[in-house]
Structures are given as structure tokens and as C-alpha cells.
Chains A and B, each alone.
Chain A
Amino acid sequence: MSTHTLFNEKLIFFDKIPSDNFSAIKILGDELVKAGYILPAYIKTVSKREFDFPTGIALRSSGVAIPHAAPENNVLKDGIAVLRLKKPVIFHSMEDSEDKLSVSIIFMLALREANGHISMLQKLFRIFQQNDLMQKLLIADNTEKFQTLMLENMQ
């Protein structure tokens, strides 16, 4: 699996404006369908799972969310779709679903099997843990720079 397919520049968006967290999942889900990564059914599974088990994570830098669900044959290709927001949306916290937080970057994960991606997931969370790198991602001028920063740190 190439990290370029996983972090496809075509799946990084800065200019979309979701009305809320579920709208953000729908936007990224539709793009993942268009790009041939998932079947439409995956979007519903992810929304349901977000409702039951929210995925907002408070970092030092900002809030991120990682909506995802069990693949159930609805994931065709491994990919991570990204939505960076000018105006954050509210997600509930993974740690405590009663807590809410402002999320500036959403990483929607479409993974065929989690255990095959341990090192990739670890690297992704290592990125989240680096405050300076997250700051760079928050201000990257364009999606190409965002992708480059991600890829450099996913090696």
C-alpha cells in the first residue's frame, strides 16, 4: 500500500463548509465514494458509530476527529480523507461522550483491516502528538503542502 494512495491529495479539502460534525462526515464520505475508496454504506456506518462512540480528540494544538467504523466489506481501498476547517465544528469527545470540543481538522479513516495498519495508525497519532507539526498542518497554504507534511511524517 503506497502512502500516496492512503493520503491522496485529491482527498484533502480546505474549502468545504460543513454545518456540523455529521455534515463533515457526509462531505468526506461522498468524496471517498467518488474516488472509489468506499461504498456509500460506509458513510452511514461511520455516522452511526460517531453518534454512539464519538471520535473527537483534544490535542495540545487544537481538536481533531477521526471518524471511522468497522469496514464490513464497505471499504475498497485504504484511504484517509481530510477536511481542514476555517471555522471549527463541534464533535463530542472520544474520552467522554458528554464532553464537546472544537475540531479544526477531520481525518476520516477508511481502513479495510485495522490490525494490518498498526504502524500507519501509530504514525498518524504520532503526528497528532507533535504540537509544532500540527501547527504547520493548521496553516499549510495548500493541500499539496499539507499532503507533503503528512507523507514526510508517515515514512
Chain B
Amino acid sequence: MKKIIVACGGAVATSTVAATAIRELCNKNNIPIEILQIRMNEIENNLSGVDLIVTTMRIKKDFGKPYVNGMPFLSGINVEETEEKILSYLR
């Protein structure tokens, strides 16, 4: 089971859309995952056991975990590259 943090400013709208896209992607590729949908400022305290961080905002801080920018799931630009990158960290 891979653990993924999906975060945005308020954990209201955009992380919900990104998390749903990631869930579908992982289902399709038979990768069991657990998603933790939180606010950006909650990442720091939730890093235990995390395999990947995806945010809809660029983070400048290095949390010492693999990181992917999830904006393409919202804008539709560069979706495939982003999916490949996510899968490469989870396989």
C-alpha cells in the first residue's frame, strides 16, 4: 500500500479533483494506495510513511519525499507526463 499526500490551499476543491484523478490512475494500474487529502500547511506533520506528495501549488520546501506538481489534473496541460511521473514513484 502506497501512501500519497494530496494537498492544496484549503483542501476544499482542487485537491479533491487531483485526488480523484490519482485514485483512478492507480486503480487502472493496479497500485493499491491510500490518499491523505490535507491543506498545504498540514504536510509537515503528516509525513510519516508517505511515498509521494502531490500538490496543486508549487512547493518550495523540500520535505525529503518524492514530489509531483498536480496542476495538470486541473488545467489539462501535460496530464500524461504527470501521470507517468506519479507512476514512476509508485511502482
A residues contacting B by CB (< 8 A) are: 49, 52-53, 55, 57-60, 66, 68-70, 94-97, 109, 111, 114-115, 117-118, 121-122, 125, 128-130
Contacts and interface: CB of A to CB of B under 8 A. Distances in A.
Given A59-B75, A94-B14, 14 more contacts: A53-B40, A53-B57, A55-B9, A55-B14, A59-B77, A68-B10, A70-B11, A94-B74, A95-B58, A96-B57, A121-B17, A125-B17, A125-B74, A128-B76
A69 B12 contact: yes
Contact of A70 (B12, B14, B56): B12
B57 A94 contact: yes
16 contacts: A49-B9, A53-B9, A57-B75, A58-B75, A59-B75, A66-B14, A68-B10, A68-B13, A70-B10, A94-B56, A94-B57, A111-B13, A114-B13, A118-B20, A128-B76, A129-B75
Interface of B: 8-14, 16-17, 20-21, 40, 56-58, 69, 71, 73-77
- Most A CB contacts (10 A, CB to CB) among B14, B20, B21 go to B14
Contacts of A59: 75-77
